[in-house]
A and B are shown apart, each in its own frame.
Chain A
Amino acid sequence: MTIEVKNLVKKFGSFKAIDGVDLKVDNGELLALLGPSGSGKTTLLRIIAGLDWPDSGEVSFNGEDALAQGARERHVGFVFQHYALFRHMTVFENVAFGLRVQPRAIRKDEATIRARVKELLDLVQLDWLADRYPSQLSGGQRQRIALARALAIEPRILLLDEPFGALDAKVRKELRRWLRSLHHEINVTSIFVTHDQEEALEVANRVVVMDKGRIEQIGSPDDVYESPATAFVHGFIGESIELPVHIAGGVIRLGDRPLRLAADGLAPGASKLFVRRHDMLVGPPGSGAFEGAVQHVRNFGPVQRAEVALSGGETIEIDAPRDRELRVGDSVGLQPRRYRIFAG
């Protein structure tokens, strides 16, 4: 199933939750909607599911208009952040729910339903919990049951809203890997929403980065990390050093200080320079584009994280390899291995 969203707009009062979004999702993709809270990613997901309605724009599944249908007709599996399991039903009945409410004409007989639920519980590896109630399960188990319940209706599309958001870090990591392999197995077009970049980059085939109701960049996890399209994406994904610079006459300046960096093809004016923390190479004073003094050093396994006060007045954090020990008070030269400059 392909999904196509065209020029979508959704307002809550005067707040534009979604501000002109275009998106195409290919068949069998596992797509991440990544963004800070309030970026409109959940609203977009809920509109695709039919739980919210846009003010304008189009949503189509395989070319047919989805907005003409309610959530019930869209045949979309939705997994909620807080599971939304039915508390008065056993795990088994929760998973069976979608099968039991089918119109009588197409409803399967009890034996088929039982077999199907058993199959789904096996798929999420929780068949031994069939008779428990949701309150007796751990968060990770509940979310897997919620997923099994959504899959019971053989959805055309699977939508997951911050599926691991309410879980602790360790469980979250396990479930990430598990979700990816599950998707490989069932191969349903899936979209999941997350604010956790690591989660998006690790699980998804493609990542859509959103901010303030707009899409900032769509690309593979490598794309969005290695070649961020906008200042926002660079700042949001990966750990970045952000420095306000000024470009004039082919020279990049940090404060008053000209930087020995090429300004070819850059528009003059105020800009932002981005460098990944680990892309800042440390050398002797005078060896790089920046000069600074080490103010603080902490060791993080293979790297040392140093706070460096630049002579322009800014203080930045860099990750340097441990082969050359940095000490507080050292004067260093810093040369960015790679950097990007965005206007604004």
Chain B
Amino acid sequence: MSAIAARRRTLPGFGLTMGLTLSWLSVIILIPLAGLFLKSLELSPEQFWNILSSRRTLNALRVSFGLAFAAACVNLVMGSIIVWALVRYRFPGRRLFDAIVDVPFALPTAVAGVALTALFAEKGWLGAPLAALGIKVAFTPVGIFVAMIFIGIPFVVRTVQPVLQDLDPEIEEAAGSLGASRWQTIIRVILPSLGPALLTGLALAFARAVGEYGSVIFIAGNLPNVSEIAPLLIVIRLSEFRYADATAIAVVMLVVSFVVIFAVNRLQRWAQSRIPAR
């Protein structure tokens, strides 16, 4: 009787999928993160503060977040242009270029780091001409920046691409026939339509760059206070058996990343609400 009385859902499997989702997310994400927070509780607030306010930690965080944000911004601009070319024009090799965008996804980051270092080293193909101009890339913060751009670009391209593909060309024709210049059409019509996707791409590229380790450590030079990223500092502290120090830095990274992602998410939802689905 109770089985008949139970409310029937049109979509079956809610209990099963929801249960799996919660337990899986707990095992994979929540429990490790909780462990991180618990470990950092071993520190007194004073110790915690001392670790964080040390010059080396602050510099590492500044390098990580600052450069990641700058790289994400560059990726946002360049990624948008790449998406535009890939979606809007038909040219020989388009499919090849489309595939190349995914290389940073697939390439082991250490390989990418070694390759970029070789390329931008003082005698490398790109490093030599740049060195002639007085610009040093490898083993400086600029190198970190370059590596972060490299690993972040597919995130912007792949999030914006489907949205631009779905954007009806008639919208642009309508804007044109109403007297809008090409520039006005881009600023007033196309960019606002792509807004949420651009923000998502920015957030993903930023998050990826903040967490990047493999490619950066090869090219960075890893000079404390100058070109040392926070993830590397965590590894160094771990190798010194200063686990609490490592977790303190990790907690800060986690919180800042979460706040940034959350803020972008809200911003994206706000933008989305202004463009209700068709």
Task: State the A residues within 8 Å of B (CB).
Answer: 49-51, 70-72, 74-78, 80, 82, 84-89, 97-98, 100-102, 133, 135-136, 149-150, 152-153
Least distance between B85 CB and chain A CB atoms (Å): 22
* 21 pairs from A and B in contact (CB 8 Å cutoff): A71-B177, A75-B179, A78-B173, A78-B177, A80-B174, A82-B170, A84-B170, A84-B171, A86-B171, A86-B174, A86-B175, A86-B193, A88-B193, A97-B175, A97-B178, A98-B178, A101-B180, A101-B181, A136-B276, A150-B178, A153-B179
User: B173 to A72, Cβ gap below 8 A?
Assistant: no
Least distance between B171 CB and chain A CB atoms (Å): 5
Residue total for B at the interface (Cβ-Cβ under 8 A) = 23
User: A101 to B179, Cβ gap below 8 A?
Assistant: yes
- Once A101-B178, A133-B276, A135-B276 are accepted as A-B contacts, the answer to whether A88 and B173 lie under 8 Å apart by CB is no
Q: Is B168 interfacial (CB 8 A cutoff)?
A: yes
User: B176 to A88, Cβ gap below 8 A?
Assistant: no
User: B181 to A72, Cβ gap below 8 A?
Assistant: yes
User: A50 to B177, Cβ gap below 8 A?
Assistant: yes
Least distance between B103 CB and chain A CB atoms (Å): 33
Which residues of A lie under 8 Å from residue B55 when comparing CB positions?
none
Scoring B residues 112 to 154 as 1 if CB is less than 8 Å from chain A, else 0, what string do you get? 0000000000000000000000000000000000000000000
Task: State the B residues within 8 Å of A (CB).
Answer: 168, 170-171, 173-181, 184, 188-189, 192-193, 195, 274-278
CA distance A71 to B173 in the complex (A): 8
Q: What is the chain A residue whose CB lies nearest that of B178?
A: A98
| Residue in contact with A87 in the complex, picked from B170, B181, B184, B275, CB distance below 8 Å | B275
Which residues of B lie under 8 Å from residue A98 when comparing CB positions?
178-180
Question: A51-B176, A135-B277 given. 15 additional CB < 8 A pairs?
Answer: A72-B177, A72-B179, A77-B177, A78-B173, A80-B173, A84-B171, A86-B193, A88-B275, A97-B175, A98-B178, A100-B188, A101-B181, A150-B177, A150-B178, A153-B179
Which residues of A lie under 8 Å from residue B177 when comparing CB positions?
49-51, 71-72, 74, 76-78, 150
CA distance A102 to B177 in the complex (A): 12
CA distance A277 to B184 in the complex (A): 55
Q: What is the chain B residue whose CB lies nearest that of A161?
A: B170
User: A102 to B168, Cβ gap below 8 A?
Assistant: no
Which residues of A lie under 8 Å from residue B275 when comparing CB positions?
87-88, 133
Least distance between A36 CB and chain B CB atoms (Å): 22
Which residues of A lie under 8 Å from residue B188 when comparing CB positions?
97, 100-101
Least distance between B163 CB and chain A CB atoms (Å): 12
Which residues of A lie under 8 Å from residue B170 when comparing CB positions?
80, 82, 84
Which residues of B lie under 8 Å from residue A85 when comparing CB positions?
174
Least distance between B249 CB and chain A CB atoms (Å): 41
| Residue in contact with B184 in the complex, picked from A74, A82, A101, CB distance below 8 Å | A101
Least distance between A157 CB and chain B CB atoms (Å): 11
Which residues of A lie under 8 Å from residue B168 when comparing CB positions?
82, 84
Q: What is the chain B residue whose CB lies nearest that of A77?
A: B177
Q: What is the chain A residue whose CB lies nearest that of B196?
A: A88
| Residue in contact with A97 in the complex, picked from B180, B195, B274, B278, CB distance below 8 Å | B180
Q: What is the chain A residue whose CB lies nearest that of B168?
A: A84
Which residues of A lie under 8 Å from residue B192 when comparing CB positions?
88-89
Least distance between B182 CB and chain A CB atoms (Å): 9
User: A87 to B276, Cβ gap below 8 A?
Assistant: yes
Least distance between B181 CB and chain A CB atoms (Å): 7
- Please list the 6 inter-chain residue pairs (A to B) with the smallest Cβ-Cβ separation, ordered nearest first: A98-B178, A84-B170, A84-B174, A101-B180, A135-B276, A88-B275
Q: What is the chain A residue whose CB lies nearest that of B195?
A: A88
CA distance A243 to B181 in the complex (A): 55
CA distance A84 to B174 in the complex (A): 7
Which residues of B lie under 8 Å from residue A87 when comparing CB positions?
193, 275-276, 278
CA distance A71 to B168 in the complex (A): 18
Least distance between A187 CB and chain B CB atoms (Å): 20
Least distance between A259 CB and chain B CB atoms (Å): 51
Which residues of A lie under 8 Å from residue B176 when comparing CB positions?
51, 70-72
CA distance A97 to B180 in the complex (A): 8
Q: What is the chain B residue whose CB lies nearest that of A98?
A: B178
User: B171 to A51, Cβ gap below 8 A?
Assistant: no
CA distance A98 to B177 in the complex (A): 9
User: A149 to B173, Cβ gap below 8 A?
Assistant: no
Q: What is the chain B residue whose CB lies nearest that of A89?
A: B192
Q: What is the chain B residue whose CB lies nearest that of A135?
A: B276
User: B178 to A149, Cβ gap below 8 A?
Assistant: yes
Which residues of B lie under 8 Å from residue A136 when comparing CB positions?
276
CA distance A51 to B172 in the complex (A): 10
CA distance A133 to B180 in the complex (A): 21
User: B178 to A88, Cβ gap below 8 A?
Assistant: no
CA distance A89 to B195 in the complex (A): 13
- Once A101-B184, A101-B188, A135-B278 are accepted as A-B contacts, the answer to whether A84 and B173 lie under 8 Å apart by CB is yes
Q: Which of A51, A84, A101 has the most CB atoms of chain B within a 10 A radius of its CB?
A: A101
Which residues of B lie under 8 Å from residue A74 when comparing CB positions?
177
Q: What is the chain A residue whose CB lies nearest that of B278?
A: A135
Which residues of B lie under 8 Å from residue A153 when comparing CB positions?
178-179
Least distance between B164 CB and chain A CB atoms (Å): 14
Q: What is the chain B residue whose CB lies nearest that of A136?
A: B276
| Residue in contact with A86 in the complex, picked from B173, B179, B181, B189, CB distance below 8 Å | B189
Q: Which of A50, A72, A80 has the most CB atoms of chain B within a 10 A radius of its CB?
A: A72
User: B179 to A78, Cβ gap below 8 A?
Assistant: no
